[in-house]
Each structure stands twice: as structure tokens, then as C-alpha cells.
Chains A and B, each alone.
Chain A
Amino acid sequence: MVIDPKVRQVGFVTPGASSEPMKHIIESSSMASSSSELTPSGNSLSPVMIPPPRHAIPVPVPSPLRRPSIGDNMPLGSYNPSDSLLGASPTISPSSRNDDDNPYSGIPSVDLSDEFSPRWIDRTNSGTISNTKADDFGHKLPQLASSFPFSSNLTAVSMVKMPLPRRGAGEVETNHSMSSKPLKEKTSKAERRALQEAQRAAKAASKETGGDKQAVAFGEGANPNAKQAKSAKPPPQKKDGAPGASSGATSEKKGVDRPPEKERKKDVPAPRMQFDDTQRVEKAKRRALVKPTETMNRVELFRHLPQYVHGAQLPALESKFFEVDQMHPHPAVYRVGLQYLTGDISGGNARCVAMLMAFQEAIKDYTIPLEKVLIRDLTAKINSYVSFLITCRPLSISMGNAIKFLKARIAKLSVTLSESEAKAALQSDISRFINEKIVLADKVIVRHAVTKIRDGDVLLTYGSSCVVEMILCYAHELGKQFRVVVVDSRPKLEGQALLRRLLAKGLSCTYIHINAISYIMHEVTRVFLGASSVLSNGTVYSRVGTACVAMVAHAFHVPVLICCEAYKFHERVQLDSICSNELGDPDALSKVHGRKDLNHLENWANNEKLQLLNLTYDATPSDYVSMIVTDYGMVPPTSVPVIVREYLREHLLI
């Protein structure tokens, strides 16, 4: 299959915060391969190169009791870089690479993402399809999805054991030396065809490729060996293996059409998930706790980002809240996830603190399962929590840094510590992080920033940043005479809450919308802005609109002060706000609260020519920033890399 020309490999290659899950795979897999007690063959090529028993590994691990179903065999490809790990391990990776048989091989991916997946899902859900297999799949999907983030011991064990009955270590080695591609082709062609067939049915036979071969394959159902005339792999291997495991494994390699992936992996750290990569998205969907619905009209330039689906997810997640399921994340984590989803918790610090407290709670209730090591099992647990939180809302960079810190702490735990000691140590580490990196850092920032406020100043702020609010309040408490201009913008109108709190404290304020920014700017003497993150080229990643405010301020020669805790700094470099961003609810743009008459965009989703784009963040170039106020003092944006290099690593990781 031709590589989708639309796949934009623009992900940041730094194994940074936002690529958490992928990083974990690398880490955990290396961990697994080094631990010999889990490696049957005792060498690094062992089957444990399969995503090791890590829950958060975004590999859909089906229950071992499930038969291979069509649902597992969607040709929609890999979701994460663990594929390459899988590819390196011949025990799995029976995926077909037979392009001729793929009815979609010639179809540009625009088709897949635009029409194929949404409709396909609609239909399976609506149950209008007569095809039983498709129905079956429709049912499987949620099951599988719901089982994902906590694949727990059961599946993990099965994953480890899986290769044993299938082949010996020697074979592993020999096969490994071969390219894994032929294996992939040979093993699961039939499965793949079956799946394609199902999809074709689902699409009401709209595609005319594949022909009778597929029909035959479809008739064979889940038996993957039926049509493998050319198979180098003896059929029994498939059958002998643990069915669940093999199906999980086989599904991994379905339709992976990135032959150079293994090589690429060596050179470059894993890119972040690109959401215009249909195959990966499908994988992701299957492992999600709740099957997200698709947003209809996606903006072309922002296809690679996770599309906004929160509203649709909420009811499903809520309904599952009281379900007693050992697969569920810890209730505290679940609650925080729901709060992210609904937007009850927003703002970088609030989200980070809520997440850390939830983790603290979860660690408190954590007990080491039998025959497990705390360091590894807990890391896996945290990974699963994180991936749950990601399904609720993409992580912010600050959260990524905090997670990195926590995992480093877990990894550094002394083996001699008892369970309770280790838990207590972790909990106090988390408290320390919250205290030092957020609470105290804010205090220091306030102290620094307040020295830049003089009597008679007119301070402008945009949106609602808690640090800026603290600065303004503290300056007011010190008796400084100044005026505040609160700039706000639709659709969140966060500034109104800030305005109310400032007025309650007795500050004199002006409230404008961002449209009037150039009108008000000439009377402003300082601009104070918060930030979601500061990147190492000095770019400030913050609430959308910040760049506009900073640019206008720069044009008026008004100094722009960015207030940001150092734990939000990141070594990544970003030049625009396209390649990494978060999409908000497009409906928020079409509806104006309290204006029923403004209904011109009422059914905008039905118009294929209209796309609404509600971005959450933007990137402010460092040229527009006069100063960054951080817990290390006031620094120019050019000095961010120094802080990142000198202090962040040791503080976050030690």
C-alpha cells in the first residue's frame, strides 16, 4: 500500500511529555527484555519484546478467552510505535502486507478518514447492517475498548506466555534474522481479508475490489490459516497458540503499511500520534474506554490532531462510573478524568495538581499484586491512568513533566523498601512536587513580578491565568495604584471569572474583548500573560489569542511579561501552533450564548464545505516576549534553554 501522502510526520521527535505512551513502550520494553525471569528464551530477541505486560501500552490486548474476531483484524493498522517492536519479534507480527488484496490500497487516505471511518462507525452502531459479522464487530468494539486501559495481570501474563507454545527460542532467533515482513504477509492474509470483507459489507458493497477471494476468506471466518497457500508458517502454529494472545498479536500488525518503520525507529524517537493517520486512529479507538464519535467536518490543516469528541464521551463514561470493574482506573483518577472531560478542571496548574493528587490517592490504595515488582507494576498502572486521562483530554506539557517526574521517582525507588515505605515515599514525593514546583514557585514568581508594577501602571492581561491573578492581587495588597485591563475572547470567556474575582478584591478594571485590543493597547504600560508552556526556543505556548495580544503589545512597544513556573518549561522547539495543538468543541463557535437569533450556523455539520476550527492553544514567538518571570527569576526568553538544560532535568528527574 502506498504510504498515505496525507500523513504528516511532523511530530516532535523529542521523546517528550506529549508522547508519553510511546515513550513508555520503549522504556518498558527495554526493561522487560533485560529482566530474564520473564524471558523464556533468555535473550533479547525473546517474545517479551512484545509489548511487555504494561497496561498503558496502547496495544489492544484482548482477553485471552476471546476468539480472534473481525474486530481485531481491522486493516487500519498500528496505533503506536510498539508496532516496530512487534515487528522485530517474529512470534507475533503475522500481519498481512499483501497489498493486492487490500481493497483500499489504491484509495487515498482522505477517503478513509473522511468518509470511511465515520460512516462505518455510524452504521455499525445503528445496526442497519445485515451482515452478522459486522454486527459482531460492532459489539466487540466497545467490549474491547472497555477492557483496554487496565489490561491487568491476566492479559499481561497471557502476553508473556503466548509465544511459548508456538515456537522455541531457536526459531525465534532464526526468524528474527529474517525480515519480519514476509512473515507478516503470510500469516494473516485471510484474517485481513475477512476484515476487509466485513468492512465492505458495512460499506454496503460500495467498493468493488477484492473479489471472490475475499468472499472465501470471509467464509472461513476467523480461521486465519484458510487461504494461506504460500504460507511459510505452518498452520498449526496459529492454532496452537493462545487464541487470545495470538489474535491480539495478529491484530497488531494488520495493514501496517510502513515498511521502513523499524529502521526509522532506530534513528528517530517515536513521533507523536498523528490523528490523520487513519490506521493508528482506529487502533486507538479500539483501546479507548469509550468509543469516541467522530467529529464531522474536520479542518484539513489540523487533521493530525485529536479531534474534539468530549461531549460524546461524557455520557458513556459517566454511566460507567459506578460499574464495578477491576479494569477501571482508580476512582480518583476516573473522577479527575471526568472533570477534565467536562472542563470542570482547566488551567495548567489546576489540571496538573488534580492529576497528581489523584495519583497520590491511587498510590495510597495500591497493593502489589502477587509475583509482581512494585517498580514495574506501578509504572504500568500509572501508564494506564495516564492513557485514560489522555482519552479524556490531551495532556498538557506541564502534566507530562509531572508524570515524568513521578515515573522517575518510581524507577528510582530502592528495591529494599517495603511496600508501605515505597508508597509513603512516593506520596511524599508527589506532595513535594506540588509544593515546590507549583505552590512555592508561584509565590516566587509573584514576588519577582510585583517589582515590575509601578504606581500609575495600566496592566493588561488576557484570559485567566492564576499566576497573573495572584500577582495582581498581591500588588494590590501592597497598595500599588494601578489599573487592570482584562482582555477576553469567545468562546470560553474565562476573563469574566477573573474580572469578577479582581473586582471583589477592589481592583479597578476594564473589560474588553480581544477585538478591541489595538484600541486599548496605547494606554497600557505592561502586559502580563500566563503560559501553558515555554519551549526552549523561547516560544510561549499558551491559550489561543495570547500570540495576538503579545504581537499587538510588541507593535505598541509595551513590554510583555510571561509568568510561568519552571516545571512547565520544555526542551521541545515549536515554530507554529499547527503541528501541536488541541482542538476544542467546534459547536462552541457556532452557538452564541444568550443569542438565540444568531442561529446562522445551526446545522453547520451537515455542510461538507464548512469546517469550524476551535483551537485551544497558540504559539507566541519569542520576539514578542520581553521577559519570562519564572521561579528562577526574571530571564529573557533566550535563556529558557539554559534553565531547561541546567535545572529542569535534575529537578524533575532527581
Chain B
Amino acid sequence: MLRPSASFILDQRESLSSPPPNLAPPATMAPKPPIQAGSGAGYYAARAEHHAVSSHWLAQAQAAVDGGPAKPGLSESHGDRHRDRENASFSVIDEFNFWRKKPDLAEAVAAIMALAAVIRTSEATTMMELEIELKKASDTLKSWDTTSISLSAGCDLFMRHVTRTSALEYEDFDAAKARLIERGERFGEISLRARKTIAMLSQDFIFDGCTILVHGFSRVVLEVLRLAASSGKLFRVFCTEGRPDKTGLRLSTELVGLGIPVKLLIDSAVAYNIDEVDMVFVGADGVVESGGIINMMGTYQIALVAHSMNKPVYVAAESYKFARLYPLDQKDLAPALRSVDFGVPVPTAVEVETSARDYTPPQYLTLLFTDLGVLTPSVVSDELIQLYL
């Protein structure tokens, strides 16, 4: 249960170059009191324990953030902006859009940052008010793009993580609010950090001379490959074309820029080439409770082919993509539609499948690389249970 965050890897690496981070653990991260089974306060003890669980990996991740290369301008610019708009009416969407403009920032992280800003600018005077305000903001964000799994999952997780602190039970409002802000910002920083952590973790799985099949354009996967290439590993990558968005073309351009040998396949050539492939690497739109993933159309197909050929399928996904969804089959999802361009006119009588993503059941996945560590699919549910219940 108390799995240390994977970001200790970053700690190890960076502590070599940088002075040890200032790691004064806040009171919330004090060693958790042992739960006295049978005491009437068992419920709260359990809550406190879960809180401790979350803050445990958070603490480590934060340590990594503190010790790591500072994100220049991030916090300062935010502070400035915050002062600028102190008098202006605050809008979550504006805040969200501000963050979203940053090129390397995932939507969900932008949402998390925006929500953290909500707490900061809130003028609520009671905890309940603040929670309602936060809820409203998160609903607004979610409705901004209802099909995005990571967006709603990120919002939910933020709500869950930030508001679930036993400190709220006894502290006065200002202190509690400060605690919320602190937790919110920490969560945001960890989310920003997640991709690097995952890249570090997955290095052990990429060996010299291997061939990696990649489907879709995933920034996490790109980060993984970039780090592998920069650390001198020799491997080649097969990119699927990724119709209709041509995501594979985009990825292959990026990879060639990094000096990685790339071969581009049309989507239907996966099975033809699977013999040469050593592992499949995909990202994920969302990781669901069963441990399966929801990802770009074609992932399921590739996972099936890989499974039948006994090739490992690795998923790189940040933990804020863990969603409380449990699809039973492909159609058991809110569909995200996308127009498909066939290049030639299609008769109107012909029905076109426009769904943009599919669901890969957990039995076809080998491992998930997340910022919580390298997990088997079944652990996802355990993590979600601990976070949500």
C-alpha cells in the first residue's frame, strides 16, 4: 500500500548534481499514527492513513521537484499574473486557457493548475463554501471538454486529493485554506513532473538493439524515447501512421530529429511487422479501473496482435489519467467522435466509423509506467480504491 513514489529515481540522480533539497516535511506528512483497530476513531485514522499514503508519494515527488532543475518563470509569472488580476473577476476557464497555452502542458495539468488558482483566489469564508466553489469550477472545466477522460479524471483527483485531508476537521478556516492551497499546488507540481518520472522509470525496459512499436502521438512516450536516445541507447522505432490524424507522421518527425531510426507503417501493417518488434509502447487517454486503457483508435488492435505474438505491451500514463470508469466492452464508453477524411468522396449512404478511441482490456497489457511506479494493470484499481473510498 505504501508504495514509495517512483520519483525517488529523480532524487537519486539529481542529488548528485544539486544540493540536497530542503525537505522539511510538513505536519501532514508526519509518520502516520498506527491505526488502533477497534478504536472509535478508526474511520478517521484510516482517513488520515490514506491521506498519508497520498502525501507520501507526493512528498517524494515534491522533493524531486524541489531538487530538480527549477522551472524558470513558472511560479514567478504566476505570482505576477495573480497580482495583476487580483481585482479582476476570476474565471476558471481563463486560468485554464492560460495554462493550456503552454506547449508542453497536458490539458489535465492545466486544469489542475487552474483549480489550484481557484482556491487561491476564492473569497469563500467557510470550508463548505470553498468546496462548493471548487466543485463548480471543476464542473465547468469538465464541461469544457466532456470527452476528455484525463481532464475529468484530473479534476476529480484534484478534488479528491485536495479536499481529503484530515486537517480540515479541526483547523480554523484560514489554516485549512492555506493547507488546501499548499496541497493543490503540490499536486500541480507533481503532475508537471510526472512525465519526467515516467521517462526515468521506463529506461530499464529499453535495451540496446530493440525495436519499439509506437502507436499514436503521446508526449509521455516521446519523452521516454527522448531520454533513452539521449542516454545513448541504440534502438529503432516503428511508428504507425495513425490515421486519420496522422499522429504517427508527427511522432516520426520528432524522433528523426532526435536521431532515432524510424520506420513508418500504415496502420494495417502492424501484424506484418510484429515479428521484428520487441515491445509495444503506447500512451493513454485514460486508465480505467479495470486496469485497461482508453487510447487512440487502433490500440486495442495492436495490443491483440502483440498479445497473440507474446510481445509485451507497455503503457506510459501519468497518474492523473486514472479515471473512475469501468468499461465492460468497446461500446461501453462515451464516444469521442472525430471526422475521418478518406481523401475521396464517400457516398452518403455509407456509414463511417468516427469514434476516435478504443478500450484495451487489462489482460492485453503487460505493464503500466506511471509516476506512481511501474504497475501491473490490477494495481490501478487498488490505487483508485485507496484514493476514492
Contacts and interface: CB of A to CB of B under 8 A. Distances in A.
Given A654-B40, A654-B42, A646 B385 contact: yes
A633 B324 contact: yes
A436 to B, nearest CB: 13
Interface string A618-634: 00000000110000111
Q: Which of A412, A627, A638, A649 has the most C-beta atoms of chain B within 10 angstroms of its own C-beta?
A: A638
Interface string B33-48: 0010111101100100
A506 B362 CA distance: 38
B328 A639 contact: no
A423 B147 CA distance: 54
B381 A639 contact: yes
A642 interface: yes
B37 A654 contact: yes
A600 interface: no
Contacts of B381: 635-636, 638-639, 642
B339 interface: no
B378 A638 contact: yes
Contact of B389 (A408, A412, A638, A646): A646
A200 interface: no
Contacts of B139: none
Contact of A643 (B37, B40, B43, B385): B385
A653 interface: yes
A646 B328 contact: no
B207 interface: no
| Chain B contact surface mostly | loop
Interface in A545-566: 559, 561
A29 B381 CA distance: 41
A526 interface: yes
A639 B385 contact: yes
Contacts of A639: 378, 381-382, 385
Contacts of A526: 328
Contacts of B328: 452, 526, 559, 561, 626-627
B38 to A, nearest CB: 6
A646 B386 contact: yes
A412 B362 CA distance: 43
B42 A650 contact: yes
A636 B40 contact: no
Interface in A561-602: 561
Contacts of B289: 633-636
Interface string B10-50: 00000000000000000000000001011110110010000
Contacts of A561: 328
Contacts of A321: none
A636 B37 contact: no
A256 to B, nearest CB: 36
Q: Which of B40, B43, B328 has the most C-beta atoms of chain A within 10 angstroms of its own C-beta?
A: B328
B254 interface: no
A647 interface: yes
Interface in B220-277: none
Nearest to A623: B363
Interface residues of A, number: 24
B173 interface: no
Q: Which of A526, A632, A636, A643 has the most C-beta atoms of chain B within 10 angstroms of its own C-beta?
A: A636
B96 to A, nearest CB: 28
B290 interface: yes
Nearest to A557: B329
A192 to B, nearest CB: 45
B19 to A, nearest CB: 39
A642 B329 CA distance: 24
A452 B389 CA distance: 21
Nearest to B324: A633
Contacts of A632: 385, 389
A454 B327 CA distance: 12
A643 B328 CA distance: 21
A528 B294 CA distance: 24
A566 to B, nearest CB: 10
Nearest to A642: B382
B90 interface: no
A653 B382 contact: no
B291 interface: yes
Contacts of B37: 649-650, 653-654
Interface in A529-559: 559
Contacts of B332: 452, 454
Nearest to B361: A626
A64 B65 CA distance: 77
Contacts of B385: 632-633, 635, 639, 642-643, 646
A454 B329 CA distance: 12
Contacts of A633: 289, 324, 385, 388-389
Interface string A450-481: 00101000000000000000000000000000
Contacts of A627: 290, 326, 328
B14 to A, nearest CB: 33
Contacts of B326: 627, 634, 636
Contacts of A646: 1, 46, 385-386, 389
Contacts of A647: 389
Interface string B372-389: 000000100110011011
15 contacts: A412-B38, A454-B332, A559-B328, A627-B326, A627-B328, A632-B385, A633-B389, A636-B326, A638-B381, A638-B382, A639-B382, A639-B385, A653-B38, A654-B37, A654-B39
Interface of B: 1, 35, 37-40, 42-43, 46, 289-291, 324, 326, 328-329, 331-332, 362, 378, 381-382, 385-386, 388-389
Given A634-B326, A639-B378, 13 more contacts: A632-B385, A634-B289, A636-B290, A636-B362, A636-B378, A638-B381, A638-B382, A642-B381, A646-B1, A646-B385, A650-B42, A650-B46, A654-B39
Q: Which 8 pairs show the lowest CB-CB distances between chains A and B?
A: A638-B378, A559-B328, A639-B381, A634-B326, A654-B42, A642-B382, A636-B290, A650-B42
